[in-house]
Amino acid sequence: MLRARWEDFFTRFDVLICPITPTAALPHRNEGTILSRTIRVNGAERPYTDQVVWAGLVTMALLPSTLAPVGRTPGGLPVGLQIVGPYLEDRTTIDFAERLADVIGGYAPPPGA
């Protein structure tokens, strides 16, 4: 049923652009467990597992997704977006990411890397 809903969506749109995660890149953390960790989102503490909500939205329907860099935070952390396409149309999301890179410049190594 879920895949049928997505199939209907993609009759009207070529791709869906959405966040990868609710935050920019995070410093690596390994204290506690993934279930006990938290992240700060817009000043509020949230479960660390919120980081997989957007990816789960599409992967549970087996949809292809390509991640694309789109900039950096004021602190220099990378920011990206997720390009989601119709079932079995991986090349659609990759093509869109390539076209997006032509417009915004694509990946750039972080300063000092």
What would the pLDDT profile of 19-39 be if each residue is shown by its tens digit? 988 888 777 778 888 889 988
Please report which residue ranges of 1-113 form alpha helices under DSSP H: 2-9, 53-59, 90-104
Q: Encode pLDDT of 63-89 as tens digits.
A: 999 999 998 888 888 889 999 999 999
Compute the C-alpha angle 89/61/4, nearest 5°. Answer: 85
Beta carbons within 8 Å of 19's beta carbon, 6+ residues apart: 54, 81, 82
Does position 108 have pLDDT exceeding 80, yes or no? no
- Identify residue 68 by its one-letter amino acid code: A
Q: How many Å apart are CA 96 and CA 83, to the nearest integer?
A: 8
Beta carbons within 8 Å of 79's beta carbon, 6+ residues apart: 24, 25, 69, 70, 71, 72, 73
Structure token digits, residue 44? 């509020």
Give residue 31's pLDDT: 84
